[in-house]
Each structure stands twice: as structure tokens, then as C-alpha cells.
Chain A
């Protein structure tokens, strides 16, 4: 079903993915991630152990159980029930020789699973036992499936124990438990209902599987093959997005990583719930817009679901109309039809004026937010002048927005108009380089504008200037910590240049939240729903983490981050450009050109 709905190039990719190296990669990933859960083990050992014990343990039980039935049973290639209920059909088995060793091995696997199951049960009530702050809230059907899953292994344990007790077989776990139980209970009679319980819980689990989050078990296998064949999510809803929706196991790692959860207490909008809402055909419009799009959940998802692109698709789609589905449709769901955005086809920004074209080699685009933080703008200009760079300040009088906030609101067509307008200005100027101060603008210039010129963030440009010796800087012995902006760090992959520039002028301290782990300041333009109080609580928590070592300055490279963090801490918050501008060695500091800076006001005369 999913295969049919892939686009033609994707179908070809998938077919190719079943041969050659991609096939080997997929098998390796299935072993390392789906069974052993290596990513979770590395991030959080107890949580990973819990998931691994169930997945890998059950796999081993099935594998060795099948071997057991084929090897020791009367004939080879038995029906599945012979393997699943082996001890029931062969109760005298396993007391001596190789059979005893095998029994020991099977008991060991069962013990392995039960240890993880104990962790899982405790986790439902107190998630601290696996180091998580919160666990996923489940729906009724999920809870029923969970209960039946949890009953499978204990009932197998008790059933096998009773049988072992009755016949004197079994190994360290089932044998000892069995003989203990047989000493005061009629083991043969008691075994029967527990075998039934085992059978029923298995049955209920597999019948409910496609309707619950446990669908991730088969979906993930598909997903791994598709991903290793090179298929990606793209801009529109499609088969790959459906595969990812069903591959979410609701493990809750995204909820744990989400700052709206631990800083603001908002716990209904995280990616696990978004995908759950999609699986249940609900209207997820409000959930889709209530996200900082910081990328922390995306980066931590152990299944590798592209959470941020999926949320963007839902934002583009506008309101999704909830469908009522009957049980048949739940087992064979149709691909979700997302209502396309209604536009009237009239361009919204045709009133933008035709600007006079200025020719320049290097353009500086401050961006909307930089204009609201003039210290950054002035520092960058000071740096340009000190290095003797010729530049044209393309939006000195205000300028047009870069278009990314419209894209984050899902309005791609309108954003395209602004992008075209700005692109024309940039092309016609003949520039080879575009420097910008705002990571939001940087991201959209790099990804969505069709410019074949070099686009640089001002920290990258400053690094170039330092390397080419055009800028001489003093070293100030001040402690700084660096806050990586979401759009520059996780959004564009620029982690090193800002830190190198900072190390050049000050003592850069390490924090617990560096590089890909960095926190979001909360100022995000992507979140349309939260109010200033929520943003401030996120900012306060982030600033508290970053100022734990008591730095003199909290450095950042985004004007929105600077404004948001400055309202949340007493430590000085400054952009890298400001720190560098203050550190320019004396001979290079030039006269500041009037007119480009803050308007000088005459002092107010009182009386």
C-alpha cells in the first residue's frame, strides 16, 4: 500500500535500495537500532536497556524458540504455534544434556526480557527510574495493547514454571520457580489457565497492533529501507511521511527534549502527540503551530523521523479536516488527504516599490530584527569600516522582510513574492557576497533563494577578516559563554566559526548545552501560539543554564536571541559583532559615519 503511493523516482530509489550497499546498510541499521537501540543506549543507558531488552529479547526468544522447535521437535518446519508454546507441547523436554543447556539459554533470554519489563512498569508510574522527566500520555487503545504486551512475558514465565514444576524440567528460572510452586500447588492443573493467558495476551496484542503505537514495529523496518534508499520527506504530504507517522513508537524522547515541556509545562504539542493525532485522523492544526521549531526533538529522535519537515508540511496545509473512520478504515488507512491552502491567486505584495539599483561587490543585509537591535547593526558597520571593506547596506532604510517568517507560518506562495523581490535587488547589484546579521535571514538566503553568490553570516565574515589579517583585535580576558541560535546551529550547521571568533577575543567557556544540544531562547518566530510569559520562562531557564559558570558576557549571534535572553538574565547579553567591535585594536577604529547610526537628539532642555 505504501509502496504504491510513493512517487515514481522514490519507487525506483526503493527498488535500488534492495540491492548493493544500501541493503547491507539497512540490515545493519535494523540490527543496531531496531533491536539493540544503540542510539538510545548511548544517550541514556537505562532507557536504552529497557527498550532493548523487550525488542532484542523478544527477537531472540522467537529466533531460538523456532530453532528449538525445529531442532528438537519431531519434524522440521513446524507451525508457528509449536515454537511459541514449545514447553506446552513438549513438557518432558529439557532435563539433561544439550537440551538442558538450551533450556538455560531460553530462561536467560526470558529473564533478560523480564528485567526490562520491570523497568517499563516502574517507568509508567515514575519516569525518573530511566532518567526521563515525563513519559508519553497514552490513549485507551494504547493502554489496552500495553497491558496485553506486559502480560505476555510474565504469563509465559508462570505457565512454563508450572509445566516445569509438574514434569521436573526447566532451568534456573522456570525450573526453580516451578519446583517452588509445585511444592504447594497442583502444578499440572494450574499450568493450563496460564498457558491460555499467554495465548490470549499474545493474540490481543497482535490484533490491536495496527491500531496502536506498536505499529512502529513493522513500519520502522519499511522506513529504514526507504531512508537508506535515499528517500526524504520533501515539501508535501506523501507516502514517506505516512511511513514516518506510523514509525513513531511514542517513546517520549522528543517530549523530554522539548523546552515547552520542561520550561513551560506545555505537554500536549510535542512531536509524539502530533504524530499520534495524525494517526488518529484528528485536526492537528493548533498542535502544528505551537512549536518553537528549534530542532531539538528532531535531533534526538532515535527512529530518525524528520519531525521538523513533517510539522512544516502540516503548517503549509492549513487546517486539516478531521475524518470519522470506522474500524475497517483504521486497519487499512487511506493516505491522509490534507486540504490545500485556499489562496485567491492575487499577489499580496505587488505594492512593493521598485528600488533604485546600486552596484556593489559586497552587500550587507541587516534583517528586520537587526534593525530593532541597533547595537548589532552599528557594530557590524564599525567592523566593516575598520577593515576597509567596501559594502552596500542594502536595507539601510528598513527594507523588506527576507520571507522566512511567512514560510514558517506556512504561507509559501506569499513568501515567494518577497523572495523574488529581494532576489532581484541582489542580482541587479552584481554583488559576489551577501553578509547578513540574522540567522533566520541566513537560513532562508541559503536554502530558498536562488542566488549563486556567497551567503555569509557576519560571524563567518569576521572569521574571514581575521584570517586575512584585515582586522586586528585585542584579547580581552573576559569569560564568555556562547548561545548557539537554533537557525544558525541546528538549522544551518554553523557551530565552529562563531566559537572560533569568540575564542580569538575572549575566554570561551564550555556549557552543558553546546553545539547540537543547545537550548532555544524561546523568541522563535515559528511558534504562533505562545505568549510572552511562556517565552520568558523558556528564556530564563536557557539563560540560567548558560550563566551557570558566571560569565561576564553571554554571547550570541542572533538579534532575536539577544533581545529574548537580555530580558531573562542580569548578565550582559551581547552579539559576537559587538564583542568584536569593542575589541578592535585602536589604530583601526575609524570615524563613525553619521547618518547610518542612531539619530542624535538634542538634549532636552527643562525650563
Chain B
């Protein structure tokens, strides 16, 4: 594409070679409702942390499913585990467990245990 003079923006580029879906697989194995997410954004709308920061659970879900884990690693500890997202989720995703498992999986990848 560069030959044609088009710039490739990093945010618009999904790199299948660099992405690592093992964390998403770990979460899906332990929490089956993880796969139900339709990324509607109700969780992010009601999020307590979302009133103070850019934290968005929907964004984290999308990154996890794509396999771009670095952003998730930096931001996942912002969640207060308050549980409002579970109450509003229209598909019944157990979001608190997804976040806890994501934290566990990220810690485990640091020691290559996933």
C-alpha cells in the first residue's frame, strides 16, 4: 500500500502476526460467557471508572479478542470491580470474572505459565 502513497495508521492496522490470542482463549476456557459479548458498550456507559478516565471495558474486550494485550495490561487494573456492568449487560456476560481472569492471565504470561 505504501507504494501507492497511502499512509498506514498504526491504530487502523490489525497485525495478525504480532497479536496473541492466548489470553482470550484462557479467559474463554474459564468463563464461557466471555464469547457472548456483542460489544454493545452498555458496560462502558455505566462504568464507575469511566466517569473519571478513558477506561472502557468495551475497548478492552475488543483488544483482548484481537489479541492486542499491551493496552489491556496497562489499563486493566483501573477496574474497581463494582459490578454495575454485570447488571446492565444485555447478554449476561460475567464481566467481573472476565476482568479477574484477564488479570490472572496477564500475570501468568509474565512468567510464561499460560
Instruction: Report chain B residues within 8 Å CB of A452.
Output: none
Q: Is the C-beta of B51 less than 8 angstroms from some C-beta in chain A?
A: yes
**Residue of B51, B52, B80, B94 with highest tally of chain A CB at under 10 A:** B80
Q: Is the C-beta of B19 less than 8 angstroms from some C-beta in chain A?
A: no
Q: Is the C-beta of B97 less than 8 angstroms from some C-beta in chain A?
A: yes
Q: Is the C-beta of B48 less than 8 angstroms from some C-beta in chain A?
A: yes
Q: Which of B41-94 contact A (CB under 8 A)?
A: 46, 48, 51-53, 77-78, 80-84, 87-88, 92, 94
Q: Is the CB of B33 within 8 A of A531?
A: yes
Given A342-B107, A531-B92, is A406 in contact with B48 using a C-beta cutoff of 8 Å? Answer: no
Q: Is the C-beta of B22 less than 8 angstroms from some C-beta in chain A?
A: no
Instruction: Report chain B residues within 8 Å CB of A586.
Output: none
Given A353-B52, A531-B92, is A405 in contact with B107 using a C-beta cutoff of 8 Å? Answer: no
Report A29 CB to chain B, min CB distance, Å.
40
Q: Is the CB of B94 within 8 A of A398?
A: no
Q: B-facing mask of A378-405, CB < 8 A → 1, else 0? A: 0000000000000000000111110101
Given A351-B52, A352-B52, A400-B48, is A405 in contact with B88 using a C-beta cutoff of 8 Å? Answer: no
Instruction: Report chain A residues within 8 Å CB of B33.
Output: 531
Instruction: Report chain A residues within 8 Å CB of B84.
Output: 368-369, 371-372
Q: Is the C-beta of A281 less than 8 angstroms from some C-beta in chain B?
A: no
Report B38 CB to chain A, min CB distance, Å.
15
Residue of B52, B78, B83, B87 touching A348 (CB-CB under 8 A): B78
Interface size on A, residues (CB 8 A): 32
Interface of B: prevailing SS: helix
Instruction: Report chain A residues within 8 Å CB of B97.
Output: 528-529
Residue of B77, B82, B100 touching A528 (CB-CB under 8 A): B100
Q: Is the CB of B48 within 8 A of A401?
A: yes
Rounded to whole angstroms, the CA-CA distance of A411 and B104 in the bound complex is: 13
Q: Is the C-beta of B21 less than 8 angstroms from some C-beta in chain A?
A: no
Q: Is the CB of A398 within 8 A of B88?
A: no
Interface size on B, residues (CB 8 A): 23
Q: Is the CB of B48 within 8 A of A368?
A: yes
Q: Is the CB of B83 within 8 A of A400?
A: no
Instruction: Report chain B residues within 8 Å CB of A529.
Output: 94, 97
Rounded to whole angstroms, the CA-CA distance of A533 and B81 in the bound complex is: 21
Q: Is the CB of B51 within 8 A of A368?
A: no
Q: Is the CB of B87 within 8 A of A563?
A: yes
Q: Is the CB of B107 within 8 A of A409?
A: no
Q: Is the C-beta of A548 less than 8 angstroms from some C-beta in chain B?
A: no
Rounded to whole angstroms, the CA-CA distance of A372 and B92 in the bound complex is: 16
Rounded to whole angstroms, the CA-CA distance of A414 and B82 in the bound complex is: 12
Instruction: Report chain A residues within 8 Å CB of B51.
Output: 397-398
Q: Is the C-beta of A558 less than 8 angstroms from some C-beta in chain B?
A: no
Instruction: Report chain B residues within 8 Å CB of A351.
Output: 52-53, 78
Instruction: Report chain B residues within 8 Å CB of A525.
Output: 83, 96
Given A349-B78, A400-B80, A531-B92, is A372 in contact with B87 using a C-beta cutoff of 8 Å? Answer: yes
Q: A-facing mask of B23-52, CB < 8 A → 1, else 0? A: 000000000110000000000001010011
Residue of B46, B94, B104 touching A372 (CB-CB under 8 A): B46
Rounded to whole angstroms, the CA-CA distance of A369 and B32 in the bound complex is: 25
Instruction: Report chain B residues within 8 Å CB of A352.
Output: 52
Instruction: Report chain B residues within 8 Å CB of A371.
Output: 84
Q: Is the C-beta of A83 less than 8 angstroms from some C-beta in chain B?
A: no
**Residue of B48, B82, B100 with highest tally of chain A CB at under 10 A:** B82
Instruction: Report chain A residues within 8 Å CB of B87.
Output: 369, 372, 560, 563
Q: Which of A425-473 contact B (CB under 8 A)?
A: none
Interface residues, chain A, with chain B CB atoms under 8 Å away: 319, 342, 348-349, 351-353, 368-369, 371-372, 397-401, 403, 405-406, 409, 411, 414, 418, 525, 528-533, 560, 563
The 8 A-B residue pairs whose C-beta atoms are closest, nearest first, are A532-B92, A401-B82, A398-B51, A348-B77, A401-B80, A368-B82, A405-B81, A525-B83
In the complex, besides A398-B51, A401-B80, A560-B83, 14 extra interface pairs with C-beta distance below 8 angstroms are A319-B104, A348-B78, A349-B78, A349-B80, A351-B52, A372-B87, A399-B48, A403-B80, A405-B82, A409-B100, A418-B80, A525-B83, A528-B96, A530-B94
Sample (26) of A-B pairs whose CB atoms are under 8 Å apart: A349-B80, A351-B52, A351-B53, A351-B78, A353-B52, A368-B48, A368-B84, A369-B83, A369-B84, A369-B87, A372-B46, A372-B84, A399-B48, A405-B82, A405-B83, A406-B80, A409-B96, A409-B100, A525-B83, A525-B96, A528-B94, A528-B100, A530-B94, A531-B32, A560-B83, A563-B87
